[in-house]
């Protein structure tokens, strides 16, 4: 795992090596093991390396035989050995044993169509010095980030927003709509918080000529999930095929020249990955679990039961490492806010970072169960949406006021894990329909509450529902409301929340995280399955539980999902009480009219006095304040 960066001057000036190194400096945690740059005419590229495969000769940038093609890559190509053998047979000569070098030779062999042959997770930039041509591409699921900036005189790219900020020509104008949407979702749902910095979309390549008058930008999608076609395969055969495909995915992700382990929680997903890894590892498997003193968030007991069960599948031994951590760590939060380079307020980033830091004490690579919930119907909201669909037979003129009134009768206190809090969200969902219903369940702050605390900066933004429907919900095609939510999650929540969180939190600890469930072949199978394969009679992730039953301790498949949360509501009323008040009410957000000081103080006081639970809005506001204060 690494960091990549580069820029092109269309005025033909040579890139400044110091600027390239400043970009790489911001990504030293992504690649602490080495760095290098390459400059040719008006183009410069750079790479900072976390050594995982080919420790001796795998440094980047890498070139082809005659040094006319150069590449920098962040990620792993898992089928590189097969590709390398094929390319050697066709006469290509390799300088290294690394997986990245196959990108160059495969491009020589197949042109831009070579992307279809890559199996892995990656973001790379390929530069052709003869043609003055540059191509950037991102893996099918968007596991690895890739940001870019362009104006009439420059093009720049990097693995992080912070790297782009080092370039003096990059315009850092904030996008008010992005901030408005972030306050509801806790992540920026599309693009970035900056108007002129964008992302290369997952499953997409972007290309242009860097020299002369031929500059022509081209963006093409080479892959996207397909939900419209469904298999007629019997359920039992589907279970067997899924087991074979996920097992192969785990096997691929065990390829490394450095120590490797597995994240283990008390849930189904990590138990499956740990069980498959234990069977296939040719050395003792290390699994890592963190625990909390707060029992409502602690999974040590469940993880220990899972470890005891799957340990018997380990051919060479099984080592379960456990550490109790305190996520109520303001320094960790401040550090992570800087690493993201834009507002991001999924509070589980803190325990994810602490887990990654714990694992990094012994391993360089860790496998995780990310993606299983979105692909196999794991979230409670999918079940809720199926039940809520039954209320659509009630005329909207009756349904909307009736269920809004019922929801209003439940006080907004406590925290979201309590049953009555979920009941309140359910009733609000019954009052709405379609995209509004989905967003109402997913979002943490509604439009009315945002208007109560936000300032005049947002006078001309659109409701988040409008932008969300246009960018995501309107692009999903599944007829089943639960499956449509799953499809939307793949397009937005998984990419912009879960994967971004895991990437930044793990890379901040210099740890590479691999997610076997996000192998595109597993994703393709998931899209083919009828939804009843995934959820039936209230059992979520049904096909996973049946396909991998032997790895699951008794009762695990039906155990309620706990998640990886933290007690924000309590922190704000206790440990962070004074800090929160000082930061928010005397901060840059109030001074710049992003927040209305009086409105924000009313919300803060209501939370502190336990009259309501506004912890999600307050955390989003705190992260935004920390972000802007550091700008």
> Which sequence spans correspond to the domains of the chain?
2-174+189-221, 235-376+496-518+541-558, 567-631
**What does the DSSP 8-state code read for residue 258?**
S
The residues annotated as belonging to the active site are: 2
Is the preceding peptide bond at 61 cis, omega within 30 degrees of 0?
Answer: yes
pTM, whole model, 2 decimals? 0.95
Interatomic CA distance for residues 137 and 197, integer angstroms: 16
> Torsion angle, CA of 16/22/23/25, rounded to 10 degrees?
150
pLDDT at 560: 65
pLDDT at 53: 85
How confident is the model at residue 612, as a pLDDT? 87
Identify which of 581, 96, 566, 95 has the alpha carbon closest to the alpha carbon of residue 346. 566
What are the C-alpha distances in Å from 385 to residues 377, 434, 468, 485, 491? Answer: 11, 10, 18, 8, 18
Rounded Cα gap, residues 148 and 628, in angstroms: 21
507 membership: H or E segment, kind and range: helix 500-507
CA 166 to chain centre: 24
Fold type of domain 2-174+189-221: 3.60.20
DSSP for 302-356, please give it: HHHHHHHHHGGG-SS-EEEEEEE-----HHHHHHHHHHHSS----TTHHHHHHHH
- pLDDT score of 582: 94
Domains 2-174+189-221 and 235-376+496-518+541-558 share a fold: no
Q: Spelled out in words, what is the top-level CATH class assigned to the domain 235-376+496-518+541-558?
A: alpha beta
Q: Are 171 and 25 in contact (CB under 8 A)?
A: no
Mean pLDDT split into 10-residue runs, the chain, 631 residues? 92 95 97 95 95 85 95 96 95 92 95 93 96 95 97 95 98 97 94 97 92 76 92 96 98 94 93 96 94 82 91 90 90 96 96 96 97 95 88 86 83 65 80 88 90 94 91 85 92 96 97 97 96 91 95 77 79 94 94 94 94 93 95 76
């Amino acid at each position: 795992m690494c960091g990549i960066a580069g820029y092109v001057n269309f005025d033909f000036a040579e890139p400044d090596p110091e600027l390239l190194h400043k970009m790489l400096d911001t990504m030293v945690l992504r690649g602490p093991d080495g760095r290098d740059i390459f400059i040719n005419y008006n183009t410069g590229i750079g790479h900072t390396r976390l050594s995982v495969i080919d420790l001796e000769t795998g440094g980047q940038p890498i070139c082809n035989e005659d040094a006319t093609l150069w590449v920098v890559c962040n990620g792993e190509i898992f089928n590189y050995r097969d590709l390398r053998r094929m390319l050697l047979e066709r006469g290509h000569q390799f300088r290294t044993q690394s997986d990245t070098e196959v990108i160059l030779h495969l491009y020589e062999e197949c042109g831009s169509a070579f992307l279809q042959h890559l199996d892995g997770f990656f973001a790379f930039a390929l530069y052709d010095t003869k043609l003055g041509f540059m191509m950037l591409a991102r893996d099918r699921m968007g596991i690895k980030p890739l940001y870019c900036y362009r104006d009439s005189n420059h093009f720049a790219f990097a693995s992080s927003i912070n790297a782009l900020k080092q370039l003096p020509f990059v315009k850092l104008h904030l996008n008010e709509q992005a901030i408005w949407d972030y306050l509801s979702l806790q992540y920026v749902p599309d693009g970035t918080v900056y108007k002129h910095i964008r992302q290369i979309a997952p499953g997409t390549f972007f290309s242009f000529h860097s020299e002369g008058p031929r500059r022509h930008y081209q963006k093409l999608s080479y892959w996207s999930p397909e939900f419209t076609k469904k298999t007629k395969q019997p359920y039992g055969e589907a279970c067997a095929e899924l087991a074979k495909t996920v097992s192969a995915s785990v096997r691929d992700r065990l390829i490394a020249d450095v120590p490797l382990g597995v994240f283990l929680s008390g849930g189904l997903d990590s138990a499956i990955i740990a069980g498959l890894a234990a069977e296939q590892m040719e050395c003792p498997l290390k699994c890592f679990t963190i625990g909390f003193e707060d029992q409502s968030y602690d999974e040590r007991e469940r993880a220990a039961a899972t470890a005891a069960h799957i340990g018997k599948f380990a051919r060479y031994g099984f080592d379960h490492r456990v550490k109790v951590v305190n996520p109520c760590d303001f320094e960790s939060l401040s550090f992570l806010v800087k690493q993201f380079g834009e507002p991001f307020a999924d509070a589980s980033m803190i325990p994810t970072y602490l887990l990654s830091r714990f694992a990094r004490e012994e391993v360089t690579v860790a496998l995780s169960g990310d993606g299983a919930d979105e692909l196999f119907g794991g979230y409670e909201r999918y079940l809720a949406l199926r039940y809520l669909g039954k209320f659509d037979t009630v005329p909207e003129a009756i349904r909307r006021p009736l269920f809004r009134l019922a929801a209003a009768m439940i006080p907004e206190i406590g925290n979201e894990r309590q049953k009555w809090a979920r009941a309140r969200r359910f009733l609000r969902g019954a009052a709405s329909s379609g995209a509004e219903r989905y967003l109402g369940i997913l979002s943490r702050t509604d439009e009315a509450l945002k208007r109560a605390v936000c300032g005049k900066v947002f006078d001309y933004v659109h409701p988040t529902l409008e932008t969300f429907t246009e960018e995501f919900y309107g692009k999903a095609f599944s007829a089943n409301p639960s499956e449509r939510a799953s499809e939307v999650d793949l397009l937005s929540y998984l990419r912009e929340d879960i994967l971004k969180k895991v990437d930044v939190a793990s890379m901040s600890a210099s740890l590479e995280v691999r997610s076997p469930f996000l192998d595109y072949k597993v994703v393709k199978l998931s899209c083919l399955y009828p939804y009843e394969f995934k959820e039936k009679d209230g059992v979520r992730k049904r096909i996973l539980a049946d396909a991998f039953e032997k790895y699951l301790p008794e009762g695990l498949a039906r155990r309620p999902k706990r998640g990886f949360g933290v007690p924000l509501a309590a922190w704000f009323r206790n440990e962070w009480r004074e800090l929160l008040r000082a930061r928010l009410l005397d901060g840059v957000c109030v001074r710049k009219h992003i927040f209305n000081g009086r409105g924000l103080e009313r919300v803060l006081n209501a939370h502190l006095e336990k009259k309501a639970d506004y912890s999600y809005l307050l955390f989003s506001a705190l992260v935004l304040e920390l972000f802007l204060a550091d700008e």
